Amino acid sequence: MEQEIDPDKVYDYAEFPDKVSGRCDNCNLAYFKSSVTGGVFLRECRECGSATSKQFESLVSVLLRLIY
């Protein structure tokens, strides 16, 4: 089932994991602006602005994904 993605909403990664790992669900590009606020890793797509939040514990796996 297709899910409409609201670019203004911050999606929780636990609820909305990437369809394709490391790529934006909305535009399928891999250009992200990343920040950490209050222990939550925030990944915002540079193309469409769709944001995904990740808990800080999973930051290591996020970084690994960004590197490889």
3-state secondary structure at position 59:
helix
Out of 43, 45, 51, 54, point to the residue binding Zn ion (CB under 5 A): 45
Contacts of 51 (CB under 8 A, 6+ apart): 7, 9, 10, 11, 42, 43, 44, 45
50 lies in the binding site for Zn ion (CB under 5 A): yes
- 26 lies in the site for Zn ion, by CB under 5 A: yes
Site size with Zn ion, rule: CB under 5 A:
7
Does the footprint of Zn ion cover residue 52 (CB under 5 A)?
no
Amino acid letter, residue 20:
V
- Which residues of the chain form contacts with Zn ion (CB under 5 A)? 24, 26-27, 45, 47-48, 50
